Chain A
Amino acid sequence: MSDVRKHYIQILVENRFGVLSRVAGLFSARGFNIDSLSVAPGIDPSVSQMTIETQGDDHVMEQIIKQLNKLIDVIKVVDLTEFSFLCRETILIRVNTTTRPGDREEAFRIVEIFRSKIVDSSPTTYTIEVTGDEDKIEAILNFLKPLGIKDVIRSGKVAIAREDQRASGKSSKPAVDGELSYPRS
């Protein structure tokens, strides 16, 4: 058995009533994990883009990809982990700024260092918006922790393959060459 690894799956679906619950229902019915999920319409409004963060060994991932492809409303499935790809998440953090003297300035400095933004402010808190990959998000959360984090809202991850690879536009290939004579889309 191969190792359990994190995977990012990009799914193109028909932008239709009920499609999200088909995808989510598939994961729960077959015992697959969803670590994060984001979904929104694409450039073509008849299509929605989903990014699902999941984990599994090769066998589980093969089934996830195949089962997703089997859903009638799914147009295309790409396991981005097979490619070089970019992954980002946006989070909103509300942090205390008056626990200790100097905290307000400290929070401001951290925001500068991480090139993030203060999007709301009250006499006792800042609300900070950060976008970045997993490492960056973890790092800023660690820096802000001593100030006292009141709330964190995460968008879930979105991911995209790098341009040179996207150009080929291919779906995730079957685990053995030739299993499908005509890969979907």
Chain B
Amino acid sequence: MKMNGAEMLLESLKREKVSHIFGYPGGVVLPIFDALYKDPSLQVILTRHEQGAVHAAEGYARSTNTVGVVLVTSGPGATNTLTGLADANMDSIPLVVITGQVPTKMIGNDAFQEADIIGMSRSCTKHNFLVRKIADLPKIIKEAFYIARTGRPGPVLIDFPKDVILEKAEFHYPETVSIRSYNPTIQGNRWQIRKAAQAILKARKPVLYAGGGIISSGAHKELLELVNLANIPTTLTLMGLGAIPGDSPRFLGMLGMHGTYAANMAIHHADVLIAVGVRFDDRVTGKIAEFSPHSKVIHIDIDPTSIRKNFHVEVPIVGDAKTILKDLIEELREISGSEDAFRHFDPWVEQTHEWEKEHPLVYSFDKEVIKPQYVIEKIYQYTQGDCIVSTDVGQHQMWTAQFFKFISPNTWLTSGGLGTMGYGFPAAIGAQKAFPNKRVIAITGEGSFLMNVQELATVVSLDLPVKIVILNNQYLGMVRQWQEFFYGSRYSSSFIGQSPDFVKLAEAFGAAGLRATRPEQVEDVILDGFSRRGPVLMEFQVDPEENVFPMVPAGGSNIEMIFESPGEKDDPKKRDSILTA
């Protein structure tokens, strides 16, 4: 049967088991939206900005471990997706983003709403395609989904000119896909896995350092099995939180710039470092020359370019984390003989517990002003971790990473690599769409929230019960913290106290708004807000000058952690009533 390009697109998406499309209409994609109007089996989630659509698709993709789909128009519609594409590219989130394009004959003529999105998106996508002939479309869609979700996942953009959208052809969807120039390695090399197993057995002070690759690969069960079998203290990156339960006895917390003392000390003193699905990012390593200086490094990653990009590695293993961890566990079982073989790590495990006791995550509770960490703790206590949490970027993001214990994978949505303010709220929309009956919470700051505040209209119109928690400290908090520490407290452009009345703002959009200004109101607001069924915005007016600790100054060694503000030592009031988390 002959179909036009728009119909073919929808049919192809259905073959890829797509059920939700995040998007925004416009001139050249009208035929596609018209086809969507006639076909109720594909649900369109209309956001209020194309950037919101991409972040929502990211939230959908991360929470479901499937490919998120976006459909936008040409020109500004397409360029508005760039931040989201760059975000997904850095955090390895699988997306297929379809942009309309002006008719083929007009490309290059500076036509109305024309943008060279293929050129612009080249460096922030895993791959991109321009559909030049309608007959190519099914194959392109098939390849786009395959590229997006396999290997190291990432965003793929398809640019679709208007004349091709309207062209008609016979529809044949390919059953299989094979790209001669793209064959990701899945199976790890046997000999390397054996070498890794031997190194682990010979170790005295091993540490597991795992990240987002565990989540993408679905390797959390294998990771936990390895942790339990081999009795290895484990730290997770920001992207990896939830890969093992946050309350697991071997879990040291997050590592890096705002990581725990125990995690950073363990990494520093380790003699074998098992890095899985991580890329030795600068926020993790601090001063690279002093990162884990005594260890033999085993690095497991599906992306060969991650290996030895910025850190030396003794045992590199390229492949899929799940497959390799399975093989590694088998190998360890075989050569160790019994689980007692790992009991000699006990003193080392004991040492990591000592570090945990020495400097736990703390903040000083205050009766007069709400501490942001207190809000996070209360949310955790209320939900017991049974929810999906997204964040924006900054102090609230770090406090959530520190004080919220993520129990399972795919429940933590955050912008790690790119650090995109404005990510969190739309990402929560995507997750809520995927899991209508699950509690989805967007924890944000007043600065970040305003970057995609228009999506309030989306949650209200779709009646999505997303719960928004704003930790309002009147500052761009992380910027202010750096200015306090490194720029002589000159708060240049970081004070944003003239925020809107967030309660009225929520109400103006048609959502419920609640506010807490004093510590004793926190629990009531949480209880009230979380028990309502529609979208609720909860504003917590928190201590304006609270800082995130511990902190490794940028470029510093990870063991040079700061635990208090430069002026704080002399303030006896602040030293009192230390509360442990």
Q: Which residues of A contact B (CB under 8 A)?
A: 13-14, 17-18, 21-22, 25, 29, 59, 62-63, 66-67, 69-70, 72-75, 174-176, 178-182, 184-185
Contact = CB atoms under 8 A, between A and B. Distances in A.
30 contacts: A13-B181, A14-B181, A17-B130, A18-B118, A18-B130, A21-B122, A62-B308, A63-B308, A63-B309, A66-B305, A67-B305, A70-B304, A70-B305, A72-B147, A72-B179, A72-B182, A75-B181, A174-B304, A174-B316, A175-B308, A178-B189, A178-B192, A179-B304, A179-B316, A179-B317, A181-B189, A181-B190, A181-B318, A181-B319, A182-B183
Contacts of B181: 13-14, 72-75, 185
Contacts of B189: 178-181
A137 B306 CA distance: 40
B152 to A, nearest CB: 8
| Chain B contact residues: helix, strand, loop or mixed | mixed
A25 B123 contact: yes
A179 B126 contact: no
A49 B305 CA distance: 23
B303 interface: yes
A67 B127 CA distance: 13
A181 B189 CA distance: 5
Contacts of B429: none
Interface string B315-328: 01111000000000
Given A178-B192, A179-B192, A180-B304, A22 B122 contact: yes
Contacts of B317: 179
Contacts of A176: 316
Interface in B291-349: 303-305, 307-309, 316-319
B119 interface: yes
A66 B118 contact: no
B112 interface: no
A178 to B, nearest CB: 4
Given A180-B185, A185-B181, 20 more contacts: A17-B132, A18-B118, A25-B123, A63-B308, A63-B309, A66-B305, A70-B303, A70-B305, A72-B179, A72-B181, A74-B181, A174-B304, A175-B308, A176-B316, A179-B307, A180-B304, A180-B318, A181-B188, A181-B318, A181-B319
Closest 8 CB pairs of A and B: A181-B189, A75-B181, A178-B189, A66-B305, A72-B127, A179-B316, A66-B304, A178-B192
B304 A69 contact: yes
Interface residues of B, number: 31
Nearest to B195: A178
A19 to B, nearest CB: 10
B4 interface: no
A29 B319 contact: no
Nearest to A184: B183
A66 B307 CA distance: 10
Contacts of B319: 181
Contacts of B38: none
B187 interface: yes
A166 B304 CA distance: 25
A178 B316 CA distance: 8
A78 to B, nearest CB: 14
With a 10 A CB-CB cut-off, give which of A25, A174, A178, A184 has the most chain B CB atoms: A178
Interface in B186-201: 187-192
Interface string B167-181: 000000000000111
